[in-house]
Structures are given as C-alpha cells and as structure tokens.
C-alpha cells in the first residue's frame, strides 16, 4: 500500500498525579497518511492492548476540531505543527515514513496530570463559572432582530466566541498564562449589548479567579495566538485589561 507508513512515537507515560513520569518509545508500522493524529494513537493502543500493555490515556471527543478536548503537545508545539489546527484534525500526511514524533501533555501548574496525556483542565471551567455568562433569565429565544447589533460588533464577538477552551494558549505560554482564554470570554460578551449590564462585575470576577487558580501573568510573548487552533487574536487580552481597568477605577466589587 503506497500510503503505508512506519511512525516512531516517544510518549509521556504517567500512572497518576503523584507518580513519576517518563517517556516511552513505541513504533506503529501500519500507519497511513490518511489517518488523523488521534487515529494513530488509536492504532497504537490497539497494538498495546494486544500485547497486554496498558493503552495510552488521552482526551478526545468530537474529533472535528470544535470541542477542545484533544490537548497534547506534539514535537514541542501545542496541537502540533499545523497552524490553526487542533490535534484531532492534524493528519499523518504532514509526516514522512520513519519520522519520530514526541508527544506529551499540557504543562502548567494549573493543569495537574491525571494520567499519561490527560490533564485536569477544570480550572478553566471555574474561570467561566466566575462570570463568563449573562445571568438574566430571558425566557425563550428572542427574535433575531429584537436587539440591534452592529455587524462590526457581532463579527468581533463571533471571532472571540470561537474559543474552544482547549488550553493550548496556556500550554504554549512560558508563564502558563490563561489571559487569551479569559480575555476571549470577556471580550466576546463585552462586544454585545446583552453583555453590557454585567461587564464590570464579570471582568473583575473572571480576572481574579484566573489569578487565584494559579495561572501566570501575560508578558506579551504571543505564543498563545500562534498555537490557538481558532486563531484568536491577542487583542482579546488588550480588551480584558481595558475592561478590568475601567471596572477598577469605577470601584467595582466582586
């Protein structure tokens, strides 16, 4: 078969949060260029199960690049070498027969390892729970034109709302900052009239929760934007800072 490939893998294995981790080497001889990266891991796991070895644990769900579950670092890059591509949409045609691929989990203090490539990303959920929503009970869905929204505002909100919460921005940041993730959630609601009544309280709660969860500060490396599978701009961070300063000067309490 012309598309058949042999791929060597160096994968981080760790039995639990408190267990020591190490890299282990594997070879998949029946890979092919049409596989996605996660399908390659599936083939490896089938091989390991046949050999009586524990399979490699990794997160996944939709495999369509929209759920944000498939967070791994591939050859030192969050989600791998293809720009604006999540790990589940990375295909083996971007590799050559005989290549060695190094795979490891997100590395951040706020992302404790659960097992192998799986990390606990609940800290991101807690940031959203702190204020990333509109709390007014609006009943059923309103008519589309009930609240006029300028197109420039709706386009801006849509771009920021594209965040899938995968955590690649945090894994890539040398400070493990969650500023791009948090900024995208804040900026998307700040751009819409429905988000205006709670905007000051929202930004204060979310920024303070981000800091309390142990994420680092942003120092404008822009690695977050470079690895974001949805290409979210670091302008979201500027919006977050601007919103926070406005709230602080207005004396907004949480």
Tens digits of per-residue pLDDT, 93-138? 999 999 999 999 999 999 999 999 999 999 999 999 999 998 877 6
Please give the model's pTM, rounded to 2 decimal places: 0.93
| Residues 234, 225: Cα–Cα separation, whole Å | 6
Residue 253 has a pLDDT of 65
pLDDT at 35 over 70: yes
Find the mean pLDDT for residues 7-14.
98
Residue 1 has a pLDDT of 45
Tens digits of per-residue pLDDT, 140-193? 777 777 888 999 999 999 999 999 999 999 999 999 999 999 999 999 999 999
Q: Can you list the pairs that 201-204 forms with residues at least 24 positions away whose Cβ atoms lie under 8 Å?
A: 201/131, 201/247, 201/252, 201/254, 202/131, 202/132, 203/131, 203/240, 203/243, 203/244, 203/247, 204/131, 204/244, 204/247, 204/248, 204/252, 204/253, 204/254
Find the mean pLDDT for residues 208-215.
96
All domains in the chain, ordered by first residue: 4-114 (3.10.20.30), 122-249 (1.10.1060.10)
Find the mean pLDDT for residues 194-212.
95
């Amino acid at each position: 078969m012309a598309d058949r490939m042999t791929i060597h893998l160096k994968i981080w294995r760790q039995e639990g949060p408190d267990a020591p981790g190490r890299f282990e080497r594997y070879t998949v001889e029946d890979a092919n260029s049409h596989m996605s990266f996660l399908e390659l891991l599936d083939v490896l796991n089938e091989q390991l199960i046949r050999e009586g070895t524990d399979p490699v644990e990794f997160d996944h769900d939709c495999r369509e690049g929209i759920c944000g579950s498939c967070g791994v670092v591939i050859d030192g890059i969050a989600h791998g070498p293809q720009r604006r591509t999540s790990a589940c949409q990375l295909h083996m045609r971007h590799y050559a027969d005989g290549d060695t691929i190094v795979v490891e989990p997100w590395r951040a203090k706020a992302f404790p390892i659960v097992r192998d490539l799986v990390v606990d990303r609940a800290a991101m959920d807690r940031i959203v729970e702190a204020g990333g929503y509109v709390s007014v009970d609006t009943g059923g869905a309103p008519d589309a034109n009930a609240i006029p929204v300028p197109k420039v505002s709706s386009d801006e909100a849509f771009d920021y709302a594209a965040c899938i919460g995968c955590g690649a921005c945090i894994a890539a940041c040398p400070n493990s900052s969650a500023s791009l993730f948090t900024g995208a959630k804040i900026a998307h609601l700040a751009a819409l009239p429905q988000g205006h009544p709670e905007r000051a309280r929202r930004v204060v709660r979310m920024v303070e929760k981000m800091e309390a969860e142990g994420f680092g500060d942003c120092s404008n490396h822009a690695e977050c934007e470079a690895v974001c599978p949805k290409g979210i701009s670091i302008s979201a961070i500027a919006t977050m800072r601007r919103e926070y300063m406005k709230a602080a000067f207005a004396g907004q309490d949480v």
